[in-house]
Amino acid sequence: MTELLNKAFVFDQESPMIFTRLYFWLYFLVVMLFFSLLYKRKALRNFYLFAVSYFFYYKTGGLFVFVLLFATISDYLIGHKIFNANKPITKKLWLSLSVFINLTVLCFFKYDYFFTDTVNKLFHTHFEVVTHAALWSNQLLGTHFDIGRMLPPVGISFFTFQTMSYAIDLYRGLIKPVKNPFDYAFYVSFFPQLVAGPIVRASEFVPQLYEDTQVTHEEFGTAIYLIIKGLFKKIFIGDYIAVNLIDRVFANPASYTGFENLIGLYGYSLQVYCDFSGYTDIAIGLALLMGFKLPQNFNSPYKAKNVGEFWKRWHMSLSSWLKDYLYIPMGGNRKGSLFTFISLSVILIFIVFIAGKLWLVWLFAAIIGIVAVLARLFPGLRVTITTNINLMMTMLLGGLWHGANWTFVIWGGLNGLGLVIYKFWRKISPYENSNHWLATLWKIFLTFNFITFTRIWFRGESMQGTLDLLSQVSNNFGWEHVPAMVTAYWKVFIIMILGYVLHWLPYDTKDKLLNWFIETPVYAKILLSALVVFIIYQSVSAGLQPFIYFQF
């Protein structure tokens, strides 16, 4: 009995609560049972969902729940200071404090080991990182965390951006403060999207806290459909090809031929989409069952005809967040600003630390000086230079948001470079405005392959691993081994083809399937869902895989 209670209520680092585990669905059924009794009383409903969300986060991230609590309390209190300030400068100072606290907490937990290691290399010191949260967890709960290696709290990048959006939206006058701290804690911690998005803005979600719970017949059908679709994408497609091919190849690219590396790379493009969009499908569906609407996060991104369109379709909540809270404040398409230079300084500091070379400071200073002189001498170029710098910095910061190492810097930089090049290319492209199917197919083909190419650095486990992959594809393609490889991995190939075909289905076909499911009777929904779930879990060939974006 004690063991059963521990399993139900005590955090287990080996078995965190994730959407693909049976334990989560039993938990969700209990949550919905009590929710059905409370949903008409908004204040009690919000408090209840806050409580179950915090329990969910504890079961997912352990004692890091106190980090979430700290972020919640600090921004709730500062939010009221921002709203009640009478002078613009006072509002700005309180906002600056909020941003500083949020980014400090994010950097401490996400980049502390990186900074400590780099300082030791640069200055020949011997500082050590001691993870006190891990130490306390080991002492209190009997866990076995490595206290010398701090893993960031699950989903810290997501809930940090949400707390920041609350303070910024208050400053901009888009919302009013929430009525009580539990309502705000519920907004920050709502468990369907807490650990991997979509990133929910305060201006979009806070008004829903004070609306009646209503779930229409269409919304109910859509929610069930999204949950089943998300599980199918995550487990049947993403996990299967990851366990049976992708993880093996990326663990040691030099041991596989160029063809195997290339298939692994195209497989990863499918896996990361199925994994991440599968999570957000489930999250949106779960929230919808409780009457809350989360923003769309993916819109068939591999149908994009250029890099700019891709980033409007992929991780849409992050892309729009970076645009509205970073790119536009830096000046956007118009000019530079003080925020531009602050952001540029942050990026350069990270790059210097990543490289571990102090001489880069002088190199960057020289480059900035040359760019400043050119902008001064040629006023016509000033807007072009500053806007493209803003664009590059936005993508570089997006890369650093994922992690502090060269692979993410290069990945962000390549995507930024792709956006800049496309801005110039579209002005001279002979087929930019063509709707001919061949032109559309060609643009989709180029965009998809470019995005897949950049994923070498996103997925690569080290810089050496990415170089090995490129070397194998270039110098050891292994054409003679292709038939044997296709024969050995025929199931993986079939799943990959199925995944890409489903992704590239016309919108009309997907809408018809959704509408058909919505209109089926409840008993048919239950039977279909049970059948699909049974098929999905038959494909599990190893332990259930964590969602990729949990690490961010």
CA 325 – CA 201 distance, rounded (Å): 11
390 HSE (CA, 13 A, CB side): 25
* Residue in this structure with the two tokens 């790379």, named with its chain if needed: 265
Can you tell me the distance from the alpha carbon of 384 to that of 386, in angstroms, rounded to the nearest whole number? Answer: 6
Q: Are 275 and 548 in contact (CB under 8 A)?
A: yes
Choose the catalytic residue: 402, 436, 481, 503: 402
CB 238 within 8 A of CB 541: no
The CA distance from 444 to 272, in Å, is: 18
The residues, ordered by sequence, that sit 6+ positions from 225 with a Cβ below 8 Å of its Cβ are 285, 514, 517, 518
Structure tokens at 96: 């600056």
What number of other Cβ atoms are within 10 A of residue 165's Cβ?
A: 23
- Determine contact, residues 55/47, Cβ cutoff 8 Å: no
- Judged by DSSP in three states, 331 sits in coil
- Is residue 16 within 8 Å of 7, Cβ to Cβ? no
Omega cis (within 30) before 483: no
Cβ neighbours of 176 (radius 10 Å):
12
Minimal CA–CA distance to 198: which of 286, 261, 120, 262? 286
- Helix extents (H) in 85-177: 88-123, 132-141, 156-172
- 3-state class (DSSP) for residue 436: coil
d(CA 468, CA 253): 6
Q: Are 236 and 535 in contact (CB under 8 A)?
A: yes
- The residues, any chain, with a CB within 8 Å of residue 57's CB and separated by 6 or more, are 64, 65, 68, 154, 155, 189, 191, 194, 195
Catalytic status, residue 402: yes
Residues tagged active-site:
402
